[in-house]
Amino acid sequence: MVETEAILLVWGVRDEVLEELPVEGSWLYGEYDFIAKVEFADVVEMEAFERSLRRVINGGTYKLLPIKLSAVKSENGNLELEDILVSGLQLPSAP
């Protein structure tokens, strides 16, 4: 089973809000304030995480970008990754 992975980008929030985020990541200084790679067991867990983000951030100043993995099944039945693509690369502009 392949877990669901995503990239979290946050912008336009105070440092106090960044300190409350439920994930570890890197603080940025520029268009975005924070970036993190997050992993989930399934889509349901990712949706629950997004609900908790909305409570902490209090607005839509974040983007959770799911990562799509492209894979093929080999002759022995194992999955072999071919490519990693980030879905939704057209990011909204920071306000």
| DSSP strands (E only) in the chain | 4-10, 26-27, 34-40, 62-73, 79-86
- Give the model confidence (pLDDT) of 45-88 as tens digits: 888 999 999 999 987 799 998 886 556 667 777 766 554 444 44
Rounded-to-10 torsion of CA 70, 75, 78, 82: -20
CATH value at residue 24: 3.30.70
In a domain, 61, yes or no: yes
CA dist., res. 8 & res. 26, Å (int) = 10
- pTM for the predicted model, two decimal places: 0.68
In a domain, 27, yes or no: yes
Please compute the mean of the pLDDT values over residues 6-18 and round it to a whole number.
Answer: 92
In a domain, 92, yes or no: no
